[in-house]
Amino acid sequence: MKISGVPYRTIWLNQDGWSVTVIDQTVLPFKLETKTLTAMADAAAAIKQMIVRGAPLIGVTAAYGVCLQMRVDASDKALENAYHTLMETRPTAVNLRWALDEMMAALRIVPQGDRTQIAYARAAKMADDDVETNRRIGVAGLALIEEAAKKRNGQTVRVLTHCNAGWLGCVDWGTALAPLYLAHDKGIPLHVWVDETRPRNQGAALTAFELSGHGIPHAVLVDNAGGHYMQHGEVDLCIVGADRVTAAGDACNKIGTYLKALAARDNGVPFYVAVPSSTIDWTMSDGVKEIPIEERSPREVTDLTGMTADGRLETIRVANPGSLARNPGFDVTPARLVTKLITERGVADASREALLKLFPERRA
């Protein structure tokens, strides 16, 4: 995608052929800054500190973290250390494990002298594959928006989304936002309700930033307003992403997604979850019981960071001094509340059998 007319990916290899640069998402939308990663520890810190975030981007960043380790030490011990260090950065997004497993599978079986070159080639392919995968998710989801547009007889299609599942959460295109970009470019009139997504405000900061850059009309809502607009017939469909989807179709996404799905079901609004196949965890069948939910710092709840009138970024306390806070990063939407899953291979019901029809190789 583009920022001020300049095409960007969220992560790229530098001209030196080995260091990696990422967009620092902790200061968007107020500043556009980048961070250069020159060591495996830099990649781990970027993931842990949410300089990069979004399940697909986390996976690719981890892959490049392995590359950076192989460049300085390609031993079996260093490879194992990189795997475990990077795996521990974020517990919920399954793409992290998927990407690291892919890197391990590619590197374990080759001589140490070949590992650096093979690692960089595998990470680059992973990044390119992510872009194409998300474009195909966009094509699959576009059909659902076109269906909604027919029902609206040419009037604006109103979409609600939660958190940021756009190109900033991937290498490019995004998952939940890719269908919106294609629909807008095709001339379908859209209006997007953007949940602010407390406590880190990825909707208000990142999704709104993306939609503004693409020229898509939108409005930021407080997280509790979505149900109100559904009750009054002002939401035609919901599209969200996910950090992990079980083989049974349960979807784990940013905290607050479950409540949106409940409101959508109560008001007859279709609720779609857009994910690449790397986000499907075939080892799990009960998301509520099995998916590990990251508990983040309570300061994300008690404090807020924003830009002052004179252009300074400031963090202020908004909660009562001395009060405790809890901060689960994600919740799980049971499959029964998911209308359809949107993948790069097409659209499916949120069930094991429907997913296996799209991914028959998983029947083994």
* Residues known to be catalytic: 243
Alpha helix positions (H), the chain: 40-48, 55-72, 76-87, 94-107, 112-151, 178-185, 202, 208-214, 226-231, 257-266, 287-290, 299-302, 352-358
Distance CA 215, CA 225 (A): 23
- Encode burial over 38-57: b for 16+ CB neighbours within 10 A, e otherwise: eebebbbebbeebbbbbbbb
Distance CA 194, CA 176 (A): 12
- Output the CA torsion sign for 89, 91, 167, 195: negative
Distance, C-alpha 146 to centroid of its chain: 24
Distance CA 213, CA 207 (A): 10
Distance CA 122, CA 234 (A): 45
| Among candidate residues 240, 276, 213, the one with its CA nearest the CA of residue 1 | 213
Distance CA 187, CA 190 (A): 9
The two tokens of residue 252 are 């784990």
Distance CA 236, CA 160 (A): 8
Q: Read out DSSP for 185-241?
A: HTT--EEEEEE--TTTTHIIIIIHHHHHHHT--EEEE-GGGHHHHHHTT--SEEEE-
Is the separation of the CB atoms in 77 and 108 below 8 Å?
A: no
- Encode burial over 217-233: b for 16+ CB neighbours within 10 A, e otherwise: ebebbebeebbebbeee
Is the peptide bond prior to 91 cis by the omega test (within 30 degrees of 0)? no
The two tokens of residue 297 are 């710092």
Strand partners, 252: 244, 332
Strand, helix or coil for residue 73: coil
